[in-house]
Amino acid sequence: MSAVSADAISAGTAPETGPADDAGAGGGTSLVEQAPRLKVRSIFRRFWPETRPFRGRMVLSLLLSAIGPALATVSVWLFKILVDDVLTPHDYRLFPAVAAAYLGITLLEGLLNFTDQYMSVWVGERFVLNLRVRLFAHIQRLSLGYFERNQLGDILSRLTGDVGAIESLVLTGVNVALSYTFQIAFFTAAMFYLNWQLALAAFVAAPGFLLLARGFSRRIKDASRERRRRSGSITAVAEESLGNVALVQAYDREEHEVDRFQEENLGSFRAQMTATRLEALFSPFSSLLETIGVLLVVGIAVWELANNRITLGGLLVFVAYLTQLYGPISGFGNLWNSLYSASASAERIIEVLDEEPGVVEPEDPRPLTRASGEVRFEDVEFSYPGTDKAVLRGISYKVPPGAKVAIVGASGAGKTTLTKLMLRFYDPANGRITLDGRDLRDLSLSDLRRNVTAVLQETLVFDGTVADNIRYGKADATDQEITAAAVAADAHGFISALPDGYDTRIGQRGRMLSGGQRQRLAIARAMIRNSPVLLLDEPTTGLDAESTQRVLEPMRRLMSGRTTIVISHNLLTVTDADQILFLDGGVITGMGTHQQLLGRHPGYTRLYQLHHPDQPGRPEAPIAAGASPGRAPVGPPANAPTTSFPVARPRWAAADSTSATTRFARILPGRPVKALGRDYPPPAAPSRTSGTPAGRDATATTGRLPVVPSAGWSNGARPTTGRHRAAAENTPPRPAPAPRVRADHRPQSTFDPLPTPQPRTLPPQPAVLRSQTEYRQPPAPAQRDRSDASYPGRPVTPPSPRHRHEPGPTNGQHRGHTGETPVPRHGEVAHTGLRR
Ligand SMILES: Nc1ncnc2c1ncn2[C@@H]1O[C@H](COP(=O)(O)OP(=O)(O)OP(=O)(O)O)[C@@H](O)[C@H]1O
């Protein structure tokens, strides 16, 4: 239990204390923890440099605060003249002069007060503005981990509520303290001038004020700390609850949420009452001290008056000075209390400012303008801060420029964590990730993030116009570029139908749009960013089948020519990847194309079956216990359960006319897309009878997946992998299918939704699969010609023998592909390409 609760209890201020109160007092279950304690002096020292821009105005303000007490002293002295020289002798000749002096002083005081008030508020507000912006900028630079560990509402509360308190500590506090000091100095001087014995007596009570203030201030600070902490909790509960209002209402949990909110408010109320009680108690105690001091002085003064050592006017003025003096002396006590109270807020700000970003910008970053897009994971290991569980272990893999790699695996396998490392939201604990051979830690964060674009699981949009949201990907994008991006993202249609088209505000979190529309908006934003590396994290999560279909084609356009890492449970979106990595418990346990993994990798097969209950696993090469990877072992009994590995089923090639990809092809309407003044190809029209995309024969699709992907990859940029080549070599040419890519398609200088394709090198096909390939439809020469012609001077680079085997790092820790099947046996140590 925190000190405040103890105080509250001792002061009898916590009558409703219960379990919730215990938690609120800083116990283990608190929503928001109290910030570490700091001395007022060190807080002051910390923020004093922030006043540098305002020092000139502060000095002026201090001068004004010195003139004020001087005028007050003169004003009181005029009262003595009035009594002793006008009233007592009944001589009214001086009265007009005294009255004029009073008027002049009042006018001058008014002018000074106005100037002082205006200037001090200006300085204070500017100070708060600067500090708040600095704090916000600091928070913006903090790593994702900070936001994952802390309540957003509490961060908001610090940013809005606590910042202001520092102004009262550093500026107002100093101003008031100096003003009090001037008042005390002037009044004391006048009192000593009038009668030094009385003046000495007057100061007997002064130490009492300071002791009293000291006793109270510590307790008030404790209460204030609790109050500020509760304020953070209140905002946190409100933010969380209102942010999830749909969930709250759907589950009928409104009352529960109100209870939570009330609980935090009650805690704040108790802390407030504790502070108020202490502050309210301070006032009568300080009045008591003041009265004792005044009575003591008056007693002595009457004695002095009786002995004619002071005039009546002198006595009255002395008492007037005395009461004026006790004001600033007890004011010091109050000021002390409020400084302690403000320091509770300052501690919360300092706690944030002291938070270092988890990922550090390199001091001398290696420049990277536009990467070719080669991404390499080298023995990457990672655990989240504050945990000891390794979320990723020994991840080694190379993604060649322009390749599309899918990462699949069960929930919690570490897929999203990989993307977080790619964006440097975190750094690996061991190993490294490189982009174009440069360690991500050597790149500036802006270079890295300009080259790597993420389309995240949750489609994040701002409450702005549609155009604003697309322009978020490229701040200086023209309207034409925005429209082109929207067209390429298949979003132009729905945007045009909105009341104000591109100028329509989409509401907080894009509530005016459907999930699919938001996702297409996110694709347009990623398109306009036009970076060479793309991360898609569960791009179709939360979308229904129709929306998924609608999103997939623009997604393909987005991926075209970029190095893409797709994360998905939904194998529909990954089956056409060049390589699929299967992640299990943070380790790559399988690697290959869909065809290679299906039926061979137990986890992948199981996942596939979960998503396609009508499709048993591929039977060709199930790995039986003891079978060596790379061979096609004898399959298990045909009646083996489909949910466990090994799986047996009729031959894929013959039966799979409704494979995921084929169905995928079928559901994608062959719509040409026009953007930036040119047509983008529709996907191949699926045959209604066989489910085979137009231009391919049925055999071409059985068991092989290049048909539809080639539409998505378009531009002829799809690499001539070993698999394709093998098929091409063994198969006589067939008539060319309808071309899907306009020959004149080429990137534009400003924005190119279909960016410059990069020569791609892909890991070679394992020999065993190459020999099994059923892909008999090589790209017809005419089509290839057209495709290549679409990028004059940028031919697709066939993988050279050098590319086929990309050695890993030279430290001997890794090795490249061996040409063996990459799928390990169940339970076997993962074969991870570059990893031993
Ligand atoms: N911020 C975090 N702090 C601590 N642990 C975390 C954090 N984020 C994720 N984890 C843990 O890391 C592991 C991997 O999480 P990750 O989100 O990468 O999984 P995933 O494969 O993407 O799962 P899903 O498919 O369900 O999104 C999980 O065990 C998760 O509990």
- Across 51-190, the runs of DSSP E, i.e. the strands, are none
- Ligand 1 cavity residues, CB under 6 Å: 148, 384, 387, 391, 409, 411-417, 569
Give the closest residue (by CA) to ligand 1 atom 7: 384
Q: What tokens appear for 136 in the block?
A: 């916000």
Assess if residue 108 is contained within a domain: yes
Q: How confident is the model at residue 137 (pLDDT cuts 50, 70, 90)?
A: very high
Give the closest residue (by CA) to ligand 1 atom 31: 412
User: What is the 289 CA–ligand 1 centroid distance (Å)?
Assistant: 63
Cα–Cα distances in Å, from 469 out to 37, 525, 550? 42, 7, 20
Biggest CA–CA distance in the chain, Å, is 133
* DSSP per-residue codes, 487-548: HHTT-HHHHHHSTTGGG-B--GGGTTS-HHHHHHHHHHHHHHH--SEEEEESTTTT--HHHH
Q: Residues near 818 by Cβ (< 8 Å), separated by ≥ 6? A: none
Contact indicator for 377, 407 with CB cutoff of 8 Å = no
Q: What tokens appear for 215 in the block?
A: 């006793």
Q: Residues near 303 by Cβ (< 8 Å), separated by ≥ 6? A: none
**Number of residues in the chain:** 836
- C-alpha torsion angle, residues 136, 140, 146, 148 (rounded to 10): 110
Q: Which atom of ligand 1 is nearest to the CA of 417?
A: 18
**Which whole number is the average pLDDT over 795-822?**
35
Per the model's pLDDT, the better-predicted residue between 791 and 201 turns out to be 201
* β partners of residue 338: none
Assess if residue 430 is contained within a domain: no
**Distance between CA 795 and CA 134 in Å, rounded?**
50
Q: What tokens appear for 654 in the block?
A: 């013959």
User: What is the 236 CA–ligand 1 centroid distance (Å)?
Assistant: 23
Residue 587, pLDDT > 90, answer yes
Give the closest residue (by CA) to ligand 1 atom 1: 148
User: What is the 142 CA–ligand 1 centroid distance (Å)?
Assistant: 20
- With residues binned 3-state (H G I as helix, E B as strand, rest as coil), the percentages for the chain, rounded to 5, are 55, 10, 40
* 3-state SS assignment for residue 590: strand
Assess if residue 778 is contained within a domain: yes
Assess if residue 255 is contained within a domain: yes
User: What is the 163 CA–ligand 1 centroid distance (Å)?
Assistant: 34
Per the model's pLDDT, the better-predicted residue between 135 and 89 turns out to be 135
pLDDT digits (tens, 9 = 90+) for 511-545: 777 777 888 888 888 888 888 998 988 776 666 66
**Distance between CA 540 and CA 687 in Å, rounded?**
25
User: What is the 416 CA–ligand 1 centroid distance (Å)?
Assistant: 7
Assess if residue 278 is contained within a domain: yes
Give the closest residue (by CA) to ligand 1 atom 17: 416
CATH number of the domain enclosing 289:
1.20.1560.10
Contact indicator for 242, 364 with CB cutoff of 8 Å = no
Assess if residue 50 is contained within a domain: yes
* DSSP per-residue codes, 720-736: --HHHHHHHHHS---PP
The chain-wide mean pLDDT, for the chain, equals 69
Q: Which atom of ligand 1 is nearest to the CA of 586?
A: 14
Contact indicator for 76, 320 with CB cutoff of 8 Å = yes
Q: What tokens appear for 401 in the block?
A: 């420029």
Assess if residue 738 is contained within a domain: yes
User: What is the 386 CA–ligand 1 centroid distance (Å)?
Assistant: 14
pLDDT digits (tens, 9 = 90+) for 93-131: 888 898 999 899 999 989 988 888 888 888 888 899 999
Give the closest residue (by CA) to ligand 1 atom 4: 384
* Cα-Cα-Cα-Cα dihedral sign, residues 107, 113, 116, 121: negative
User: What is the 193 CA–ligand 1 centroid distance (Å)?
Assistant: 77
Number of domains in the chain: 2
Q: How confident is the model at residue 19 (pLDDT cuts 50, 70, 90)?
A: very low
Assess if residue 554 is contained within a domain: no
Q: Which domain holds residue 206?
A: 3-7+21-353
Contact indicator for 565, 405 with CB cutoff of 8 Å = yes
Give the closest residue (by CA) to ligand 1 atom 19: 412
